[in-house]
Structure 1
Amino acid sequence: MKSCLIVDDSSVVRKVARRILEDMDYIVEEAEDGQDAFDKCRQEMPDAILLDWNMPIMSGLEFLKLLRAYVGGEKPHVVYCTVENDIGAIALALKAGANDYMMKPFDRAILEAKFDPGAPLAA
């Protein structure tokens, strides 16, 4: 089974994403901030990461830069998830190593499309 780490300071976002990803047969771990996420990645690197932009302690961008510089940190498929509608912020995330991005709020079809590229998008 594939594993996914959901990194978001919102427990609601983590709960919704967890339910969808578990339905897609992912083993899901959660982290409330970038530091917690980095600690978990050092213990066991996930296959995929759903990463929030704005978080306390360590932002998503700081985490992403640390992750990609860490041994094995190039492996996870990272989907950057943000309410930011700023193209510059998205460009920064992609430059730092994000594989993809999506906007909040998201629904099941959007999340499935990002984590299972073969899934059809709902109309």
Structure 2
Amino acid sequence: MSLIQVLAPENLKARLDEGETPFIVDVREDDEVAGGIIPGAIHIRLGDLPARFEELPKNEELILVCRGGSRSLKACEFLADQGYKKLVNLTGGMREWADLLPEDERPTV
């Protein structure tokens, strides 16, 4: 069984709309995050993750997000190697997340 699960952006949005507060980690670069971030997410660039992963709760679900899903998958794989078990990759990343929002609320991706 894989330690890495997947979550579609619409399912994350439904969870947020229901009042859940999952632990979301955005691994994009600074300039990408400047265009918008999922509410409540923390920002740790993928390149900084090896130095900062211990800031993340080990026994809590972590939802990783990037622009399209590739970097967040790498982040999940890295965290799995560090012993994290509740890892979720947001499929489609911020590109698909943006499509769920009203046009005037969409982050630039």
Higher relative contact order (CA 8 A, sep 6+): 2
Query: TM-score, length-normalised on structure 2?
Result: 0.48
TM-score of the aligned structures, taking structure 1 as reference length: 0.44
